[in-house]
Amino acid sequence: MKKFKKYLLLLLVLFLAACNLNLILKPLDLVTGGTQGMAILFNHLLNISPAMIIFIINILALIISYFFLPKETTYGTVIATFFYPMLVKLTSSFNFFDCSSHPFLFAIIAGIISGITGGLVYKLGFSNGGISIVSLIFNKYFHISIALTNFIVNGIIVLLGLYYFGFWNFLLALLVIFLQSLLIKVVLDRDYFKKTIKKL
């Protein structure tokens, strides 16, 4: 029963992440790195649906993970690999509001949702898979820190967003990334703010 609740909560979190992508990030063309950022870029350049791009990237990452990383890492990404693209496809027709009239406000909302959903996925013991697999492989075989690889890979994706969507979208994307990173830390460590204040 406990496992069932865990998987149910994961699906709910993935559903919220899919809504965030289709209702805010994609309409505002906010390239925030990772698989979602790649999906928005490829959708813009090749008109391929984000769900299909995410599915292809996740499948490739899953195969690579199976051969080059511990099996536990692979198993943790399986559910997100298959269900997240399905939920992105399912929510692609959602059109509840127009976020283009208040892009700054909705960028803040997107950052909050991204941080909470991202943190909960890790807290539940799962992984988003996708491009983050690259960081794990570089860490295992070349001893390059996960943080550094993430920064480089996501930095390239975000800079491509700057090139294709302009400086204002780039700034909004950075705002989303900042809030996302902050809230992931808070979700994983409730005392994060207290610890940070004590260090000051």
Question: What does the alpha-carbon distance between residue 144 and residue 93 come to, in Å, rounded to a whole number?
Answer: 40
pLDDT in the model for residue 124 = 82
Q: What is the pLDDT of residues 147-182, one digit of tens each?
A: 788 888 889 999 999 999 999 999 999 999 999 988
Sign of the CA dihedral with 169 first, then 175, 178, and 183 last: negative
Q: Does residue 193 register a pLDDT over 60?
A: no
Give the whole-angstrom CA distance, residue 167 versus residue 180.
20
Domain range annotation of the chain: 23-86+105-199
pLDDT digits (tens, 9 = 90+) for 97-133: 889 899 999 999 999 999 999 889 888 877 777 777 8
Answer yes or no: is pLDDT of 189 > 90: no
